[in-house]
Amino acid sequence: MHEDRNGVATKGLLYMEKSWDTSYLWENAEAALVFFEAAADSRRRDPKLSRRCELDGLVILRAISKHHHGPHGFLTEGVDWNNHVGQQHHIGQAEFAAIRYTEPFLNNQHIVEPTLFYLENLAKKSIEDDATTWRDLEGNVLLATP
């Protein structure tokens, strides 16, 4: 999606099809992983394609990151911007909102995989004075360790 819809952070998320237009975050994470794998595979032979794939994967992970809720970072199962699943299933019973359920193992497993793949294969890693920093292709700091 190219925009936020009905006050819900949907920009950058994908959804399955018009008949089921809820955006599930584990599926988005899988798509991000595919983009990162394509970026790594095409890096030498087609740098322009590699960059596009890397950016697309980052856009998806950034969009997912907007759906952590509560004091412990509860990652919602999905996002419903048009009341497709019914507001009784939304966080705070809002008409349009993130879905209040999750599959903790499934969601976290699917988010961790593209994140680690990115850090290990695509992020720029630098070490200075025993501190390690990982940056994305735009130069944003993703992780810094002392």
pLDDT 10s digits, 79-115:
999 998 899 999 999 999 999 888 777 777 888 999 9
Structure confidence at residue 9 (pLDDT): 94
Structure confidence at residue 36 (pLDDT): 98
- Which CA distances in Å does 5 have to 34, 38, 88? 25, 29, 19
- pLDDT > 90? residue 8: yes
Query: What is the mean predicted confidence (pLDDT) over 68-84?
Result: 86
The answer to which of 41-50, 53-62, 97-106, 118-127 has the lowest mean pLDDT is 97-106
The token duo for 23 is: 């955006």
Spans of all domains in the chain: 23-145
Structure confidence at residue 146 (pLDDT): 85
Structure confidence at residue 48 (pLDDT): 97
Structure confidence at residue 17 (pLDDT): 84
Q: Where are the alpha helices (DSSP H) in 1-146?
A: 25-42, 47-65, 104-121
- Which CA distances in Å does 10 have to 60, 73, 77, 97, 102? 10, 18, 14, 10, 18
